[in-house]
Structure 1
């Protein structure tokens, strides 16, 4: 079944690329194609190495399975709260959110009732959630690996009409953080090496009310490092990756400058940037800069959660599929 899903999503990816359908992100579809294949190989392969990996993955999955009911209830809460707070959400999205939320809640209640009321072993309860726990573990590992692979694509050695540097939160004293400085340093190097100087677009709103916008601080830094003030354009309203690219696209709606552009972000942030760059009709010339090890660990986990939510429809359908499969397996074993 997992291989069938991979084939269907592969066909959808081809269609999306041919018709340039901006509602679907090819990078997300490819991500889930690879995820489906990896899960299928992990489940079916008889190769000794895969068998050993499968043993340890199941071991870790069963360890974290006890936390899955709480995770599912948290996801249900997030989906229901979004209906209440986001007034622009479509009717179909409302129905989807309600359906998935009630499914999560129903499965948690059912498994808890079976364990408590029927006086069965806790192992039955954990078995239902082990496959879902494994799905999240493999999902996270794949997220890390694909981000690392994307780091090797470095489209720096050509002249661009624009360099777009995505903002990041300022430090506690309102100055440039280490993460943001890395992005600006790379943008400065690309600008100074260009034979025909591009415009440099810095994007980011205010992190706190008392601070200047991220774009303003970034522009000041670039000017001090040798970037001409006339070549710096500020977008100082955005507060998210989506808004970064959306507002830049709105500024140059009828201009091809941002089409032939280089987008600079961080290593851990590449997948989400690719996702939104496709939706906003940018060329996928995106490069990530490295950060400190201590920050990257936290940032990678945060970015995984953000990407998980960004692709939540597919994630939720996978999770429900594994939950139902876990219930069926448990019923067959204990029948």
Structure 2
């Protein structure tokens, strides 16, 4: 069921979002998972000799490790989206940018801003920090476009701080924290649901204590984006995974 679901949703991503390489992740994962569960076990029954056997075991155990790690990541990401209350006595609500077209926010970014405004109503003592710099094809900084959108939705200018220099999630958090005047502030980070967990991991690396709230997006896009986020997580923690791969290799070499 998982393989078929991923394959079908992968087709939807390509149909709706185009033929960019990143949009093939869901379909590619479904195909690789199918091959791993059906074709790969057959390969293990072939005579390969010591080198071939070691290679087969190394790839098998490495794949099992990655699938387990992915399951843990997805569970952690889901758990971090569960909140029993919106009222957090927050001092700052940081809304992460996601690209604008000219001066207009995209639907994905609009959903983040509206989620931030929703949380502002539940935390009236907080201030919104609209975080995002100016990228290619953008006439103004994302933070400025986000602030304009929030004002149009009825948010007072005194409730908005614009951070307009950042070019990545890491910089979003870093530059936004630099605009916070309170000591040990209570911070809420708002981004799209699939992006919340990695944003929290980056915040933790910077020593920024916060909770994350997610804005919804289309299901087919979420699946593809979650795989992309997991790849981003692997790039953040590549050292420990390299050590694990080395341990797997050593155990196989010694045992066989």
- Corresponding residue for residue 150 of structure 1: 80
RMSD over aligned Cα atoms: 3.0
- Does the CA contact (< 8 Å) of 2:86 and 2:122 recur in 1? no
- Does the CA contact (< 8 Å) of 2:190 and 2:196 recur in 1? no
Q: Which residue, out of 326, 330, 333, partners 2:252?
A: 326
The yes-or-no answer on 1:136 pairing with 2:66 is yes
Write out per-residue CA displacement over residues 179-206 of structure 1, whole angstroms, 9 at most, x where no aligned residue.
3222111111122344x44221010112
Which structure has the greater CA radius of gyration?
1
- Does the CA contact (< 8 Å) of 1:249 and 1:280 recur in 2? no
- Does the CA contact (< 8 Å) of 2:100 and 2:142 recur in 1? yes
The equivalences for 1:183-332 within 5 A come to 183-194=112-123, 196-252=124-180, 255-256=181-182, 259-329=185-255, 332=256
Matches of 2:99 and 2:142, distance apart in 1: 7
Distance 1:276 1:177, change over 3 A: same
Distance 1:257 1:222, change over 3 A: farther
Distance 1:61 1:127, change over 3 A: farther
Distance 1:258 1:180, change over 3 A: farther
- Deviation, 1:231, is 1.7
Write out per-residue CA displacement over residues 95-139 of structure 1, whole angstroms, 9 at most, x where no aligned residue.
xxxxxxxxxxxxxxxxxxxx7xxx778555322221111111111
Write out per-residue CA displacement over residues 2-50 of structure 1, whole angstroms, 9 at most, x where no aligned residue.
xxxxxxxxxxxxxxxxxxxxxxxxxxxxxxxxxxxxxxxxxxxxxxxxx
- Does the CA contact (< 8 Å) of 1:262 and 1:285 recur in 2? yes
- Deviation, 1:146, is 1.1
Number of residues paired by the alignment? 219
* Greater strand content: 2
- Does the CA contact (< 8 Å) of 1:235 and 1:248 recur in 2? yes
Give the TM-score normalised by the residue count of structure 2. 0.74
Larger relative contact order (Cα-Cα within 8 Å, sequence gap ≥ 6) = 2
Matches of 2:198 and 2:65, distance apart in 1: 20
- Deviation, 1:285, is 2.4
* Greater helix content: 1
Matches of 1:247 and 1:268, distance apart in 2: 22
Write out per-residue CA displacement over residues 273-319 of structure 1, whole angstroms, 9 at most, x where no aligned residue.
22222233333222222221121112111110111111112111112
- Corresponding residue for residue 60 of structure 1: 37
- Does the CA contact (< 8 Å) of 2:130 and 2:143 recur in 1? yes
Matches of 1:266 and 1:187, distance apart in 2: 11
Give the TM-score normalised by the residue count of structure 1. 0.58
Q: Which residue, out of 177, 189, 193, partners 2:106?
A: 177
Q: Secondary structure at the match of 1:323?
A: helix
Q: Secondary structure at the match of 2:105?
A: coil
- Deviation, 1:207, is 2.6
Distance 1:263 1:300, change over 3 A: same
Distance 1:224 1:247, change over 3 A: same
